[in-house]
Amino acid sequence: MQDDHFPDSTIHSPTLGVNGNDFSSGYLAAKKAIDDRALNRHVWETLCQALPQATERAPVNIIEIGAGIGTMLARVVDWGLLTGPATYVITDCAEDHLREGRQYLSKWAAQRGHDLSWHDYWRGRLRTASADVSLVVVVASAQTIADGSDRLGRFQLLIAHALLDLVNFPVLLPKLLMRLEDNGLAYLTCNFDGDTLFLPEYPGEEEKEILRRYHASMEARVSGASTTGRRLLTFLQRPGVALLAAGSSDWLIHPRDGRYTIDEAFFLNTLIATVKRELVDKNGPTPSGLSAWAGLRHRQVEAGELTFLARHLDLLARRYRPLP
Q: Nearest 5°: phi and psi at 289?
A: 80, 15
pLDDT given for residue 285 in this prediction = 85
Per this entry, what is the length of the chain? Answer: 324
| CA–CA distance, 131 with 89 (Å, rounded to integer) | 15
Enumerate domains of the chain plus CATH numbers. Answer: 8-319 (3.40.50.150)
Give φ, ψ of 261 to 5 degrees.
-70, 165
Instruction: Give the pLDDT of residue 281.
Output: 65
How do strand 84-92 and strand 115-118 relate by DSSP bridges? unpaired
Instruction: Give the chain's count of helices (H) and strands (E).
Output: 10, 12
Interior CA angle at 178 toward 80 and 147, to 5°? Answer: 110
- pLDDT reported for residue 121: 83
HSE toward the beta carbon, residue 307, CA cutoff 13 A:
8
Q: DSSP 3-state assignment of 224?
A: coil
Task: Give pLDDT tens digits along the chain (324 positions).
Answer: 433 332 232 223 222 333 334 478 899 999 999 999 999 999 999 999 999 988 888 899 999 999 999 999 999 999 999 989 999 999 999 999 999 999 999 999 999 999 999 998 899 999 999 999 999 999 999 999 998 866 788 999 999 999 999 999 999 999 999 999 999 999 999 999 999 999 999 998 899 999 999 999 999 989 999 999 999 999 999 999 999 999 999 999 999 999 999 999 999 999 999 999 999 866 678 899 999 999 999 999 999 999 999 999 999 999 998 877
What CA–CA distance (Å, rounded) separates 179 from 174?
Answer: 9
Is residue 12 within 8 A of residue 29, CB to CB? The reply is yes
Other CB atoms within 10 Å distance of the CB of residue 208: 12
180: left (phi over 0), alpha (psi -120 to 50) or beta: beta
Task: Work out the angle between the directed axes of helices 71-78 and 95-112 (0-180°, nearest 10).
Answer: 30
E-state strands within the chain: 18-19, 22-23, 60-65, 84-92, 115-118, 123-127, 131-139, 155-161, 180-199, 241-248, 251-253, 307-319
Q: Which of 150, 155, 151, 146 is nearest to 175 (CA)?
A: 146
